[in-house]
């Protein structure tokens, strides 16, 4: 449900998340949407997971680049949600309360896809811990940029790969299937887009979906 906030400007907050496997183009599209909103003078906040806060960035660095210790799936789950609890408290919820549009590059669906479908942790356990970390907050719209694993990883050539990007192909296939399963279970929240299309076309599809919602601000 869209978060309607009554204030002098009669603004309508909206929480949008971007999801997808490695190389799907989430960061590019989230930035594009953010710039478009600002060009229309719509107050917006762009953030990302893991990270988005001072504490979150430290956790992100540990999760992605730790070499000195093997991080267990359960530890990953807890660390991601520690970062998530902080960003919800410090960034996402305050912005929504102010009637802003919040765009987040990854949110709890990433943890469900990677730590449950990918790592094999119990699905109900993962969802319960995610819910605790977010205080029950859920996106109004989740955009899944879907791409084959081979195609997505090929876009990463020439860059340093983190712990997750270095996982084997079977892991990444499980993650992608997890995303598709989650999207099929909640079609009203999810928007699945073929990420192999031209960047401009994808951006246009996203704007066409969001624009009718934004007109309610007027």
Q: Is 89 inside a domain boundary?
A: yes
Q: Is 151 inside a domain boundary?
A: yes
What's the rounded Cα separation, in Å, for the pair 204 and 32? Answer: 10
- Bridge partners of 211? none
- Residue 142 — φ and ψ, nearest 5°? -120, 120
- Bridge partners of 16? 103, 141
Counted residue by residue, the chain has a size of 218
What's the rounded Cα separation, in Å, for the pair 209 and 204? Answer: 9
**In terms of C-beta distances under 8 Å and separation of at least 24 residues, what long-range contacts does 150-154 make, across chains too?**
151/23, 151/196, 152/20, 152/21, 152/22, 152/23, 152/24, 152/195, 153/22, 153/23, 154/23
pLDDT tens for each residue of 156-180: 777 788 888 889 999 999 999 999 9
Q: Cα Rg for the chain, rounded, in angstroms?
A: 17
- Bridge partners of 153? none
- Identify the CA nearest to 103 among candidates 151, 53, 164, 46: 46
User: How many CB atoms are located within 10 Å of the residue 207 CB?
Assistant: 15
Q: Is 205 inside a domain boundary?
A: yes
pLDDT tens for each residue of 85-94: 999 999 999 9
pLDDT tens for each residue of 48-92: 999 999 999 999 999 999 877 789 999 999 999 999 999 999 999
Q: Is 73 inside a domain boundary?
A: yes
Task: Measure Cα distances from 97 to 14, 32, 49 in Å.
Answer: 10, 23, 20
Q: Is 54 inside a domain boundary?
A: yes
Tell me the CATH number at 56: 3.40.50.300
Q: Is 218 inside a domain boundary?
A: no
Q: Is 42 inside a domain boundary?
A: yes
Task: Give me the number of domains the chain comprises.
Answer: 1
The pLDDT value recorded for residue 150 is: 87
Q: Is 169 inside a domain boundary?
A: yes
Q: How far is CA 99 from the centre of its chain?
A: 20
Token pair recorded at residue 154 = 């090929």
Confidence label for 216 from pLDDT (cuts 50, 70 and 90): low
pLDDT tens for each residue of 103-119: 999 999 999 999 999 99
pTM to 2 decimal places: 0.90
Q: By residue range, what is the domain housing residue 98?
A: 3-213
Token pair recorded at residue 70 = 């093997």
């Amino acid at each position: 449900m869209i978060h309607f906030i009554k204030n002098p400007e009669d603004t309508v907050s909206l929480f949008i998340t971007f999801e997808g496997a490695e190389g799907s183009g989430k960061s590019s599209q989230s930035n594009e949407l953010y710039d478009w909103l600002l060009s229309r003078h719509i107050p917006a906040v762009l953030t990302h997971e893991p990270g988005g806060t001072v504490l979150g960035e430290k956790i992100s660095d540990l999760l992605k680049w730790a070499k000195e210790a093997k991080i267990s799936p359960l530890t990953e789950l807890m660390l991601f949600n520690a970062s998530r609890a902080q960003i919800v408290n410090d960034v996402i919820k305050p912005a929504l309360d102010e009637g802003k549009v919040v765009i987040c590059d990854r949110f709890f669906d990433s943890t469900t896809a990677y730590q449950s479908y990918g790592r094999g942790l119990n699905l109900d356990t993962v969802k319960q811990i995610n819910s605790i970390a977010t205080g029950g907050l859920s996106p109004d719209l989740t955009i899944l940029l879907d791409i084959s694993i081979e195609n997505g990883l090929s876009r990463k050539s020439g860059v340093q790969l983190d712990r997750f990007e270095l996982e084997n192909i079977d892991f990444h296939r499980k993650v992608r299937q997890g995303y598709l399963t989650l999207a099929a279970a909640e079609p009203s929240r999810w928007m699945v887009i073929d990420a192999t299309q031209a960047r401009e076309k994808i951006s246009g599809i996203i704007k066409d979906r969001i624009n009718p919602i934004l007109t309610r601000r007027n």
